Amino acid sequence: MTSIRKRIRRIGAVVAGAALIASLGAGCAAAGGSAGGSTLVAYTGQSGDYQLNFNPFSPSSIGGVGTIYEPLFYQNKATVSDPVPLLGTEQSWNADGTVLTIGLRSGVTWSDGAPFTADDVVFTFDMLKKTPAINSGGFDGTAAKVDDTHVTITFAAPSFVKGPDVLSTVIVPAHLWQSIDPTQDVVAQPVGTGAYTLGEFKPQGYTFVANPTYWGGAPAVKSIRYVALSGNQAGVDGVTAQTIDWYTGAIPDVQNASQKYPGYTAFTQWQNQMVLATCSSVALGCSGPQTDPAVRHALYYAIDREQLNRLAFQDTAGDISPTFALTPSQDSFASAKVEEKVAPGQAEPAKAASALEAAGWAKGADGIYAKDGQRLSLTVEVVTGWTDYITAIDTMASQAKAAGIELVAAQSSWNEWTEKKGSGDFQLAIDALWQGPAPDPYYVYRYFYDSKTGAPVGQKAGNNFARYSNPEVDAAIAALAALPLDDAAARQPHFDVIQAAIAQDMPYIPVLTGGTTSIWNTREFTGWPTQDDLYAFPAVWSQLDAAQVLKQITPQG
Amino acid sequence: MSYFLRKLGFYLMALWAALTLNFAIPRLLPGNPVDILVAKLQQRGGSVSPDAREAYAALLGGDTDEPLWSQYVHYLGNLLHGDLGVSVSYYPASVTEVIGTSMPWTIVLVGLSTVIAAGLGVLLGAIVGWKPGTWLDSLVPATTLLSAVPYFWLALLLVYVFATVLHWFPVQGGYDLALTPGWDPEFIASAVRYGFLPALTIVLASVGGWLLGMRNMMVSTLSEDYVLTAQAKGLAPRTVLRSYAARNAALPSIAGFAISLGFVVSGSVITEQVFSYPGIGSRLLGAVSNNDYALMQGLFLYITLAVLGANLVVDLLYGFIDPRTRARS
């Protein structure tokens, strides 16, 4: 009898998990500080124990990118800005964008004492090219040493836009890596040039300690401990108990964070553009009302974004531009030809109705539009447990109903949801578009709107799971690849073409720009990013950004 | 002897069936590990080209065109060598390695709490059953109430009272991370302090079942003739309780205990979630959400073997301690 109940308890575990996560935060009060000292405790969202892996190229790497291993330059995605020199000091392209010349910092040593040279850089890029299994950035150039402090990277075609990926590639020491298998080795003793070295590793957490011989001077925060917890809720509990100093993720009652979490400051940045992605292309096999652009426009106007932000996102989300240039940080890229700079904050039912009626839809007796006997009812795919998105869909469903559109949420597991998006077996899916390696909207367009990353329904699509296919947009994306990133005048006409087309066709219906909220201990550490000094995108799980922050902050007192 | 052979034969069949199900079930889940990995990398901000997808497929071997029957033969062959494969979500660590780091935590925490709960429950049950109808009987509804409260709720209440308000115990974790795991007294003291609250919740939640079962068996055993005989012989009540009544009444509890020992290795997903306790449960949860077939199979295999093993031991033991079960042979 006991064993039966125990079994039920374990089956119930999975079911109860969601309820548990929802309720765990309820009863917690502030506790005495125990993080203390100059050790910063960070929680990156690791759920369950760590498995040792400090190979920066491994998909299951647990850390060390930016902190132990440094790239040539740091690209701050939070603001439109120039790359920050790290191991590189200068970088320039030749006129046709096929040769990138990089000047290297001299006098840098690896943490085992060996000098850092141009050979290490050439070795790293050669290794990536030779080993497709770790070449996730798709590096296809050829690196060559010019002298001890200069390397060139040569591409077969104009490749300005590949610059940011190349410059943010972390460099590993040739003298150690030439004898290991980069796909299999977990690099238990990582050696890098960065501001930190590995202290000790335990499955429940590992520490980084300051590198006394760091070329930029040893960082002020002498040690960092990364802990493994059961999930984000446990992260919030750790902040409440003041055992965690830096956490990025959903935070209950974030508007009153300074009272609820004394000594901590919450900070939000906007990078992920939340969308209702549509299976948009009839030619590629999509079916359903959402294949009609008029329906997509009607939905766009039916959403009351202010209400949605309040109800589903605790007012942490930001505006979104139908051009998909991040607003406000990338407003300089937005086309003058797109009239609406920002998606409307309030619902505009009149515009929704006129869009639908112009396309031949007529309101039925139940208040929902219909055309050729087909009701305007759409299913939105969402992942079970993504409570903010589920609330968002519920809110949008009631807003859309007022505009004569029916939205129905369909919850499924993350695996199943990914499968549906990939194979095109969906009508609408709530998701977010992510940014590229540099603060430049080009990457969003290439990732999500280029027909090369789409696929017919039934086949696996890449990032362009909306299956958007527009030859003009494809041509403009290709043309942009051959233009220097800083040549705004030459690039803008192509941006105009893309932005006009995607605002018109709207394969991804803009919802809001999702906020990434971090909470950090300001009582014990100062120098965190602020709105005025946004020197990095401050998410603890965004490793290259987090490394910049860790070098910048200092312990108090 | 044929009783034991028959049992062994039955367990071999059960093992084969379990291994086959273990092979089939993960493959019926939607999605495949390469897609999940690619989707994860994309969410982390990487741009994944079609070449990279192929590369990962080659690296992880999940997206395979190998026919199912040949995967099955491979799977059985590897199991014979004790090779459980490579975990996709913790690549390139092997499944044995991943399970090895979590298993001790689970076995100690869940194992000890199961032993304590069963021991305590049987002991209290024997005492309560010895004097049915007295005030002691109120222990039954009290402990079953604790079992009936949803486990996570009980755990949260205890966390709130003892960790958040009173600060007697830490809120989460397996030990003080400043210490290095080892057999030194400081670390063991820390592990005990961190493990106390999770263990207490497990004991509280399960002791009621043991108590109730034992108490009811005691009551029915007390009306047996041999108990009456023992009392008529003028034996001390304590001796009757220990050597005549409790000994016979404990038989079903022993069976239940062995079976729940088998379930110890599956860990306790909720306990580990509430207390961020290291262990098998969270590995299992992670393996399922990452479509990590090899890790899932490895974990299921351990659980299956433990449950089958525990049952086998009970069956064999029963043959000795209760000769009636051998009657047919």
Query: Across the interface, do A133 and B58 touch by the CB < 8 Å criterion?
Result: yes
Nearest CA distance, B237 vs chain A (angstrom): 29
- Whether B283 sits inside 8 A of A58 (CB atoms) is no
For residue A194 the two structure tokens come to 């960065």
Averaged confidence pLDDT in chain A: 88
| B143 near A CB under 8 A | no
Rounded Cα distance between B280 and B102, Å, is 5
Nearest chain A Cα to B287, which residue?
A: A48
Q: What is the CA radius of gyration of chain A?
A: 25
Q: What six digits make up the tokens of A338?
A: 């797109």
Residues A480-533 pLDDT 10s = 999 999 899 999 999 999 999 999 999 999 999 999 999 999 999 999 999 999
Q: Report pLDDT for A277.
A: 96
Task: Closest CB to A183: pick one of B44, B59, B181.
Answer: B59
At residue A19, φ and ψ (nearest 5 deg) are: -65, -40
In angstroms, the CA A88 to CA A80 distance is: 20
> pLDDT tens-digit profile of A114-133?
999 999 999 999 999 988 77
Other CB atoms within 10 A of residue B180 CB: 11
Residues of A in contact with B175 (CB under 8 A): 204
CB A134 within 8 A of CB A58: yes
- At B6 the three-state DSSP class reads helix
Residue B235: Cβ within 10 Å count: 15
pTM comes to: 0.81
Residues B86-144: pLDDT tens digits?
A: 787 787 788 888 888 888 888 888 888 999 999 999 999 998 988 878 888 888 888 88
Of chain A residues 372-411, which have a CB less than 8 A from chain B? none
Q: What's the pLDDT score for residue A10?
A: 38
- Count CB-CB contacts under 10 A for residue B142: 11
A242-281 pLDDT, tens digit per residue, is 889 999 988 888 888 889 999 999 999 998 899 999 999 9
| Nearest residue of B to residue A423, measured between CA atoms | B31
Nearest to B14 by CA among A268, A445, B6: B6
Alpha-carbon dihedral sign for residues A186, A192, A195, A199:
positive
**What is the nearest CA distance from A327 to chain B, expressed in angstroms?**
19
Q: Which residues 472-511 of A are in CB contact (within 8 Å) with B? A: none
Q: H or E stretch including B70?
A: helix B68-80
pLDDT > 90 in chain A, percent: 69
* A17: pLDDT strictly greater than 50: no
Q: How far is CA B89 from CA B40, B130, B268, in A?
A: 11, 54, 21
A-chain CB neighbours of B145 within 8 Å are none
Are B250 and B318 in contact, with CB atoms under 8 Å apart? Answer: no
A19 has a pLDDT exceeding 50:
no
Which residue is listed with tokens 């043959």? Answer: B319
**Cα–Cα distance measured from residue A379 to residue A408, given in angstroms and rounded to the nearest whole number:** 5
Within 8 A of A133 by CB-CB distance, chain B residues are 55-56, 58-59
Distance from CA of A235 to the nearest CA of B (A): 10
Joined tokens for residue A41:
């405790």
Residue with tokens 């089958």: B308
**Beta strand segments in A69-195, E:** 73-74, 84-85, 88-93, 99-104, 142-147, 150-154
B33 upstream amide cis, omega within 30 of 0: no
Whether B46 contacts chain A with CB within 8 A: yes
Contacts of A462 in chain B (CB under 8 A): 48-50, 53
List, in sequence order, every residue forming a beta bridge with A509; answer none if it has no partner.
A276
A432-484 residue pLDDT tens: 988 888 899 999 999 899 998 888 998 888 789 999 999 999 999 999 999 99
User: Any bridge partners for residue A276, and if so which?
Assistant: A430, A509
Joined together, the tokens standing for residue A350 give 């009149």
**Interchain contact, B93 vs A200, CB within 8 Å:** no
Q: Is the pLDDT of residue A31 over 70?
A: no
pLDDT score for B174 = 82
User: Euclidean distance between the first and final Cα of chain A, in Å?
Assistant: 59
The answer to whether B263 contacts A3, with C-beta atoms less than 8 Å apart, is yes
Which regions in chain B score pLDDT beneath 50?
Answer: 45, 63, 329
Give the mean pLDDT of A197-222: 93
The answer to whether the beta carbons of residues A547 and A67 sit under 8 Å apart is: yes
The distance of A102 to chain B (nearest Cα, Å) reads 23
Q: pLDDT per residue over A136-147, tens digit each? A: 777 889 999 999
pLDDT at residue A281, rounded to an integer: 93
Q: Hey, are the CB atoms on A419 and B35 less than 8 Å from each other?
A: yes
Residues of B in contact with A447 (CB under 8 A): 47
Contact with chain B for residue A215, Cβ under 8 A: no
Query: Is A186 an 8 Å CB contact of chain B?
Result: yes
Q: How many CA atoms lie within 13 A of A189 on its CB side?
A: 6
Binding-face residues of A in 166-185 toward B, CB within 8 A: 183-185
